[in-house]
Amino acid sequence: MSEFNPARRQILKGTAVAVGGVVAVSHGQPAQAAAAAPRAVPASPTNVSIRLRVNGTEHQMMIDPRTTLLDALRERLRLTGTKKGCDQGQCGACTVIVDGRRVTSCLTLAVMQEGHDITTIEGLGTPRNLHPMQAAFVKHDGYQCGFCTPGQICSAVAMLDEVRAGIPSHVTADLNAAPQPGEAEFRERMSGNLCRCGAYSNIQDAIAEVAGVRR
Ligand code: FES
Ligand code: FES
């Protein structure tokens, strides 16, 4: 058995060289150059002082200017009702309300929100005094695991304000007329809020009740 080991090592060495050669070729440069190239490490910027107004309370903090609003809310202010799903603007779980408009907080920097009014799910209502949209979600069972729910509720609240303000959507038939509140408008406007549990039908029931329309 042992007399085969040297040969085996030779075979393994040869294989390693061959693999290294393939990797180097695939990157279009010699193997030595690829190994020697240092990786650029971005310098950490200096923290900056910001003031965020969240749910009516002012918060002063020193923060890395690269911090998203989502991370500032969750990690610095401990407002963990706002959820991190995809962290890249695709799921809507991080939706909060800024100056009355829906914002995916993972896509905006905290430093950009100074001077604005930020409302999170914690600021909409309390367990003893629910916001009408929160109460409707409870009544219509508009959630299962609940992970998407804070984003769904914040989005739904601001979405109805958008409809009332006459802002058209992709499915608004007449751009010269006020959009008609109803299931088609609600589904289109809520399409940025994903629910992996599939509670969409019950969510629509809750929104319809708050909007005062029949499904
Ligand atoms: Fe922001 Fe998904 S966590 S959109
Ligand atoms: Fe579970 Fe929506 S209730 S993801």
| pLDDT tens by residue, 120-177 | 999 999 999 999 999 999 999 999 999 999 999 999 999 999 999 999 999 999 999 9
Residue 89 Cα to ligand 2 midpoint, Å, equals 17
Per-residue model confidence (pLDDT) at position 42? 64
Per-residue model confidence (pLDDT) at position 93? 98
Per-residue model confidence (pLDDT) at position 171? 96
Residue 7 Cα to ligand 1 midpoint, Å, equals 55
Per-residue model confidence (pLDDT) at position 13? 47
The DSSP symbol for 73 reads: I
Checking 60-67 for CB contacts under 8 A at 24+ apart, the result is 63/110, 63/111, 65/109, 65/111, 66/109, 67/109, 67/110, 67/111
Residues with CB under 6 A from ligand 1: 84-87, 89-94, 104, 106
Question: CA-based Rg of the chain, rounded to a whole angstrom?
Answer: 26
Closest residue by Cα to residue 140 from 196, 197, 202? 202
Contact 185, 163 (CB under 8 A): yes
User: Pocket of ligand 1, candidates 82, 91, 109, 154: which has the most ligand atoms within 8 Å of its Cβ, to mutate?
Assistant: 91
Place of tokens 């030779």: 10
Residue 49 Cα to ligand 2 midpoint, Å, equals 36
Per-residue model confidence (pLDDT) at position 18? 39
The structure tokens listed for 123 are 């600021």
The structure tokens listed for 139 are 């009544």
* Strand ranges of the sheet holding 101-104, from the earlier edge strand across to the other edge: 57-63, 48-54, 117-119, 95-98, 101-104
Which alpha helices (DSSP H) does 3-47 contain, by range? 5-26, 31-36
Place of tokens 């007399």: 3
- Determine the straight-line distance between the first and last CA of the chain, rounded to whole angstroms: 78
Instruction: Please name the residue whose Cα sits nearest to atom 4 of ligand 1.
Output: 89
Question: Please, what is the Cα angle at 39 between 15 and 25, to 5 degrees?
Answer: 35
Ligand having the closest approach to the CA of 143: 2
Residue 194 Cα to ligand 2 midpoint, Å, equals 8
HSE of 77, CA atoms in CB hemisphere, 13 A: 27
Residues with CB under 6 A from ligand 2: 143-149, 195-197, 199
Which positions of the chain have pLDDT values less than 50?
1-4, 6, 8-9, 11-31, 33
- Phi/psi at 92 (5° precision): 80, 0
